[in-house]
Structure 1
C-alpha cells in the first residue's frame, strides 16, 4: 500500500482489507492546501481524513498538536475518539488522541492547552474558545492539518461562518496549515470547495464511488393518512411491525414535539414490550448518553429521534431508517437514510411515512429526487456581520491586533471574501464603542486603539465575559425540568413560555413519559409522574423545516402529469378531483381560489414558497386587504398555501401582489414587529451587545433579558435608525423568520400570470387547510363590524333596537 508506513499497511493486511481508492487518493494529496472528500456513508470518510495524519506521525511522533478534527456534534467527536483509538493502539502507534467539548472537565482543558495531544477532536465553539487565549500561538504552533467532518451541516449555518473565521486565524498562526473537508451530501462541490479553502487558494475535490442506490420506499399502511396534522398516529401499527422485522430502527421526526407524541403513541401500542427509546436535543444529557450507549451496545430495537442523530455517528446495528413526516429537504433525507446499513457498498434501507394526505405527494417527489441523485440547497449569502463582530471581540481577548491585518485575514475566509472595508470598519467601530447611540455607556465601550495603532480590550477583565458568550447557537429561553423530591432526576428542558402557561396539575410529555406540573422553583420546572394518557404537549424549541425550493418545484412538476401511477390511489383520486372542480397549481403561474365556507369568504393562495414565506405572505396580504376595505378575519399557512378568510369576497386579487406595495407593507410591518425584536435579540447576542451568559450573581430571567433587548431595539430605532445592529437585524429577518426572498422568488416565477378561480364551495386541495391548527386572527374592520352586528342582534332581542341607531 503506497504511502502507508509498515505498521499501518500491516494492520490493513492482517484483516484482509485494502484501502479504498478515495482513501489512497487522500494519501496522495496529503500535501495539498485544501481537499474536499465526498464519499457515501459507511465509505470510510473519517479514516480517509486521518490516514495522512497517522502516516505523518508514524511510530515516534514529536510532541505537540498535529491534527485538529472539528465535528458539528460533541457525540460525534466522542464517537470518533473511540473508533480511532482502537486501530491506533492495535497498530502500536504512540499517538495521543483526546477530545475537547463542553463536557470536558476544566482540569483536562487546562492540561490540553499546556500539553496538547497529537490529535484533538473538538467542536467549532470549543475551537473558537481556544483561539481566544493569549497562549493560542504556542498551543497551535505545530498544527499541520484540520479535518472538518460533516462540513455540509456546518456550512449551512452561522456555526460554519464562525468556524471558517477560526480557520483563517489558525492559518495566520500556522501558514502551512492544510484543510480537509468530509461529507456524504454536497449539492454543489465547487461551491463547498471555495468555502473550505483559504481564499483564493485552490481546493482539490475527491468524489468516491457513491455505491448502490438506497432501498427507499413509502410505508404501506392499512389506514389512510389524515387530511391534516403531523403526528402520523395512523401509521403506528405498521411502524411497529417494521420494528419487529428489523434489528435496530431509527425513526426520524422533523420536530421534538412530534417525536414526543409519536414515541408516546408507539409505547402505548408496544404490547410486546420491545426495548425502544427516544433521543432529542431537549432531553437531559445523561438520558441522551444512556440512549447512545444502549444503541452502541445493540440493546435497543428502535429509537425515535430528531436531527440529534442525523450525522455520521456509527450507532450499532441500525438496519432500517423511518422518516415520519415529509423530509422537506432531499439532502437531509439522504443524510438520515445513511444511518442504516452503515457499511460501504451496502444499500441503506429506509421508509417514508407521510403524516397527512398532501405529504404523500411531497414524499413521492422526495423519493424521485433521491433516485435522481438530485440534492437541494440554496446558495450561501455573504458572511453575516454579527458573527464577524463576535470574531473581532474574540481576537481582542487573545491580545492586541492590527485592523488592516485582521481585515486581510477575515477576507481569506470564504464567506467573507467579498467583505467591503466599510462593513469591516462598521463592525470594528461597533465593538469599540457600541455605535453612535450607545457610545456614552461604558458597558459597550470594549475596545481602544493604542498610540501605535493596534487595537486591544479597554478592560482586560472583560475577556472572561466575552469568552462566556462565544457561540452562534441561539437557544430559546429554556427552563430545566426535574422530578420532585430531594435529588430529583433531571429530565430535560422546556421553553419558558410553555412553562408560564402551566398551572398546578397540568400534564405534559418529556422524554417519552407523562409528568404532572407541580410548580416553578428557582427557575426549575418541578414535576411528578402521572398516569394520564392524554397529556399537554411541551412546545420544544428547534427548527421548523420549510420545504426546499427544489422540492417544491418537483411537486409542481408532478402536478403537471396527466395521471399519477406512482401515487397511492386515494391521493391520485384527490388530485384528479381537484383538477376536475378547479385546477392544480402550475410552475410559472399562481393559482388563487376564492369560495364561501360557513358564511365567510375564503381566499387560498398556492405560492409553494415554504412555511415561513407563506406565513409572511398571509400577514402582508391581510394588511393589503384591510387597506382595500375587505375586512379579513384571519389566515393559516402551510408550506404550499395560505388560506385567508373574511367578511367580503375578493373580485380581483392581482393588486394584492404588487411587488412595491408588498415590500412597502413589509417595511411598515417589520418596523415594530415582534419578529424583528426576536431577530434583533438573536443577532445582538451573537454580536456581543447582549450577554446570554453572565456571572451567577447577575443572572436574570429570559423574560427580563427580552425586556432589555426590546428597550435596546426601540432606543436604536428612535435615535440611531442606521445602527449596524438594525441593519444586521433586517438582513437576518428577511432571510430567516420572514423569508421574503422566497416570496420574491415566487413573484419572479409567476410574473403577472395569476389564475383566479371562483367557486361555490371549498376545493379538495384547500380542504386540509381548514383543519390546520395555528390560525392567525386579524384584528381590524372585520372585528369591528362583527361586534356592531352582534350588538344590534342583542339589542333587537331585548326590544331595544332603537338604541343602536344614530
Structure 2
C-alpha cells in the first residue's frame, strides 16, 4: 500500500482498526480515472472512497472545491457528513465539509457558489442545478474527484442518466476529474464500470471480501397469512415479539400506504409503549429528521419505513430488519438486509413477512436467491431522450454552447454513446423551437443560434424557470397536509387521493389519524381525530413488479414437486394444485378455464410481472371480444391474469398467438390514460410543461389539464412529434412492459397447457378475492374479507388453516 501520512496511521491505531484490504487497494489506485468499489454493507466503503481525498487535503494547500459526493438520498448525504466530520475533527484536518440538497437553505446555497467547501455532498438534481450557472466553470475548475455512492440504485433510473450527463459537463470543466463509484449490490460490475467511465477510459473494479452470509428467515406466526391482501396485519403480534428481543428493528414496506397502515395497527397493539417511529418520503422534513436523530441516538426500538431508509445510512444499533411483503427484487432485499448489524464481517439478520399466501412462495425464493448471491439482472435501455432534452436546456442556462462540443460530451456517457447526429439534432430542434406542431408558439421558442453558430437562450430570464424544474423524479402530484391553524406541514398526500375526500373523512399520515376539513391554497387542512380506525388509508404508493429472476426461481420451485422449506399450509396448497390441475412450468404457459358463479373464467399464468400481466389482460380481452366471447373484465397480479366473461374459452392458443400482439394495442393506448400519464411525465422531464414557475406552483390538475391538451393536439396534428415518440417508447418499456410479454412468449415457444376444469382451481382462487374486493367500512371489514376468502378456498378444496 502507498504510505499513509502518520496522522492517518495514528488515527486508525487510535480507533483500534486495521485498514481493510479493499480500502488499501482504493488508496493505491487513487489516481485511476475511473474506479468502482463493490463492498458489503458495513465494509467501510465511505472511508475507502474518501481516504484519498482526506490525504490530498490534509496539508491545507488546496483551495476551493476538491471532491463532490453524490447520493441518491438527502438523508444519506446528511449521514455521510456526520460520519465524515468525525475523523476530520479528530485528526484536526483543515477540511470544510458541507451538504447541498433540496433541504439546504437559500442563503447557504448562494454562499457555496461563491465560497465552495472542500467536500460537497449532494444529489443528482442539485449537481445538475449547479452546472447550470454561468459561474460553474469557476466553481468546478479545481474539482479532482467525484464519488457516486449507491451507484447501482442510480444506474437503474433516469436519475442515473441525468447524473452521468452532469458528470460529462464536469469533465469538460475539470479535465482531470477522477470518478469513483461505491456499491454493495451489483449484478453486473462491468456494466456499472462502463457507465461510470468516460468512453475513452477503462474502469478499475475492486471487489471486497463479501463477508459472512446474512441470517435470513421467514417470520413464524401463529396465524397463517391470508389468501389475498398486502397489509400483513396477521403478523403484528409476532413482529412485536421480535422488536422486544432486539435493540432496534427496521420494518420495511414496499409502499407508503402499507407503511402507514402497518404502523397504525402496530401502535394499537403496542401495549408496552415501546418507542416506535415511522419514516417515508411523504412526511415533513421535520418529522423525518426527528426520527433520524432518534435512531442515531438509539432512542427508538423500531421504525416502520419504506425505501427512504433503503440505502447505506448507518442508523445506530439496528440489529434486525423485517421486510413486510415480498421484496419483489433480490437487490432491494439485499440492500435492506444490510441495514442490520452495519459492521464488517458481522452477519446481517433479517426476517421476511409474506403479506399473503402466494407471497410465502415468493419470499422463500427471495431468501434462496439472496443467500446464493444471485442478484436480479438490470436491463439497461439506451439513454432517454426526455432527459437529454432537459440536459440541453441546463447547458444553455450556463451560457452559449457549441453543438458539436455538446454532442461530444453527451456521447462520452455510456447510455448515449450510440446517439446519432440526427437523434441529437431532433432533441436540439425540439428544445429550440418546440418541434413542428409547436414552433408557432413563443412559449416554446427557447433557444436561438448566434451569428457565430453557437446556441444560447432566447430570453436569459427563462433560466430561472428552467432551474426550478430540473430533475427527473416525477412523484404523483402531491399536496401539503397541515393542521388547521398550525404552521409546519405534516407531510404530503397525492392530489388524486385528496380529491376523493369529503369533510369529516379520516385518514392516516405520519402514524396519526387526522380528519379532513378541506383544501385551501393547495394545502389539505386537517384537524386531530380521536378515532382509532381511519375511514380510508392514504397514498397509492409505488407498486413494484416481481423481477424476472425471482419469477424464474418461483417456477423452478414449482418443478421440485416437494417443498420442505415452505410452511405446511402453503406446501399443501401447491400439492392440491398439482392434484386438481397442474403447476405452471417455466417453458410452458398454463391456462386454466373453469365456471364460477354463472361466469366463465380463464386464468393465464405468465409470471411476467404486474404491468405486463395487465397489458396481457388488455390484449386477451380484445381478442376475446373479437372472438365473440363477451369478456366482462380481468384482474392481474405479478404471476397471472384472470379474465371472465359470458362465454367459455375453448382455444387459448388462438388468444395467445404471438402474431399481431400489437394490433389494436397502439390504437387503444393512444387514447388511454396510460399514454397521457406517460406523456405528462416525459413532458415534465423534457420541460415541455413545467410544474414550478417563479412565485407560482401549479396544481397537479392544472399540469394534467395542460399536458392532456398538448397530448391531444400532438396526437391529432403531429403524431410523429419527438415527445410522442418518447411517450410510446416509455409506455411500452414502463407501464405496459411489453418486452416481458415478448420474453414470456419467446421463453415458452408458444407451448400452452390448457386445463379445463369444472371447479375453481386452488392457485387461481386468490385472484377472485382481487376481483370481489369491495370496500366495507367499519370494524367488520376484516371479518367479512376473511369469511369471503374461506368460502372461496373451500370451493377450491383448500384447507383454510
Give the match for residue 647 of structure 1.
Answer: 646
Deviations 1:81-127 (A, max 9, x none): 11111111111210111111111111111111111111111111110
Q: How does 1:246-265 map to 2 (within 5 A)?
A: 246-265=246-265
CA RMSD of aligned residues (A): 1.2
Name the SS for the 2:436 alignment partner. Answer: coil
Instruction: Classify 1:168/1:730 alpha carbon distance in 2 versus 1 (closer, same or farther; 3 Å).
Output: same
Following the alignment from structure 1 to structure 2, what is the Cα–Cα distance between the partners of residues 746 and 200? 37
Shift of 1:773: 5.6
Q: Distance in 2 between matches of 1:725 and 1:440?
A: 17
The 1-side partners of 2:119 and 2:506 are apart by: 47
Q: Deviations over 1:609-634 (max 9, x none)?
A: 00111111111211111111111111
For the Cα contact (< 8 Å) 2:508–2:538, is it kept in 1?
no
Asked if 2 retains the 8 angstrom alpha-carbon contact of 1:636 and 1:775, the reply is no
Tell me how far apart the structure 1 counterparts of residues 771 and 64 of structure 2 sit (CA, whole Å): 57
Where in structure 2 are the equivalents of 1:218-297 lying within 5 Å?
218-297=218-297
| Secondary structure, counterpart of 1:490 in structure 2 | coil
1:408-452 CA-partner distances (Å, limit 9, x unpaired): 100001111111111111000000000000000010010011111
Alignment map for 1:189-204 (pairs within 5 Å): 189-204=189-204
Residue matched to 1:765: 763
Secondary structure at the residue paired with 1:437? helix
Please give the secondary structure, in 2, of the residue aligned with 1:226.
coil
Count matched residues: 774
Matched, 1:744 2:742: yes
Residues 129 and 470, structure 2, Cα contact 8 Å, conserved in 1: yes
Once the two structures are superposed, residues 5-45 of structure 1 have per-residue CA deviations (whole angstroms, 9 ceiling, x without a partner) of 11111111222211100000000000000000000000000
For residues 715 and 155 of structure 1, what CA distance do their matches in structure 2 show? 34
Q: Provide the rounded CA distance (Å) in 2 between the counterparts of 1:534 and 1:298.
A: 30
| Range with greater deviation from structure 2 (341-350 or 614-623) | 614-623
The answer on whether the counterparts of 2:96 and 2:119 sit within 8 Å (CA) in structure 1 is yes
The question of whether the paired residues in 2 share the 8 Å contact of 1:162 and 1:387 is answered with: yes
Structure 1 position 354, deviation (Å):
0.4
Aligned residue for 2:301?
301
| SS of corresponding position for 1:99 | strand
User: Deviations 1:347-390 (Å, cap 9, x if unpaired)?
Assistant: 00000000011000001111110111100032201010000000
Q: 2:205 aligns to what? A: 205
SS in 2 for 1:60: coil
1:185 match: secondary structure: coil
Q: 1:200, 1:721 → 2: CA distance?
A: 38
Matches within 5 A, 1:57-456: 57-456=57-456
Of 732, 747, 754, 2:730 maps to: 732
**Match of 1:708?**
706
Contact residue 482 and residue 490 of structure 1 kept, 8 A: yes
Post-superposition CA distance 1:229-287 (Å, at most 9, x none): 00001101100000000000000000110111111110010010000011111111111
Q: Structure 1 stretch 524-533 or stretch 303-312: which is displaced more?
A: 524-533
SS of corresponding position for 2:437: coil
Contact 1:498 1:538 in 2 (8 A): no
Listed one character per residue, the Cα deviations across residues 279-312 of structure 1 (whole Å, up to 9, x for unaligned) are 1111111111111111111000000000000001
**Correspondence 1:588 to 2:595:** no
The structure-2 alpha-carbon separation of the partners of 1:769 and 1:541, relative to structure 1 and needing over 3 Å to count, comes to closer
TM-score normalized by the length of structure 2: 0.95
| TM-score of the pair, normalised by structure 1 | 0.95
Q: For residue 772 of structure 1, give the secondary structure of its aligned residue in structure 2.
A: helix
Q: 1:754-793 alignment to 2 at 5 Å?
A: 754-772=752-770
Q: Secondary structure of the residue that 2:563 maps to in structure 1?
A: coil
* Native 8 Å contact 2:395 2:401 kept in 1: yes
**Per-residue deviation at 1:497?**
1.2
Secondary structure of the 2:448 match is: strand
From the superposition, tell whether residues 488 and 134 of structure 1 become closer, same or farther in structure 2 (CA, over 3 Å). Answer: closer
Quote how far apart the aligned CAs of 1:541 are: 4.7
In 2: Cα distance, 1:774 partner to 1:383 partner: 42
Partner of 2:559: 560
What residue is the counterpart of 2:715 in the other structure?
Answer: 717
Q: Report the equivalent of 1:781.
A: none
The residue that corresponds to 1:783 in the other structure is none
Deviation at 1:662, TM superposition (A): 1.9
Mapped to 2, the partners of 1:15 and 1:694 lie a distance apart of 50
> Structure 1 pair 102/541, CA: closer, same or farther in 2 (3 Å)?
farther
Instruction: In structure 1, list runs of 5 or more residues that go unmatched.
Output: 777-806
Equivalent pair of 1:5/1:58 in contact (CA under 8 Å): no
Runs of at least 5 residues in structure 2 that lack an aligned partner in the other structure: 775-801
Give the Cα–Cα distance (whole angstroms) in 1 for the partners of residues 677 and 360 of structure 2: 34
CA 1:773–1:38: 2 relative to 1, 3 Å: farther
Instruction: Provide the secondary structure at the position in 2 that maps to 1:206.
Output: strand
Query: Cα deviation per residue 1:52-86 (whole Å; 9 max; x = unaligned)?
Result: 11111123232111111001111111111111111
SS in structure 2 opposite 1:481? Answer: strand
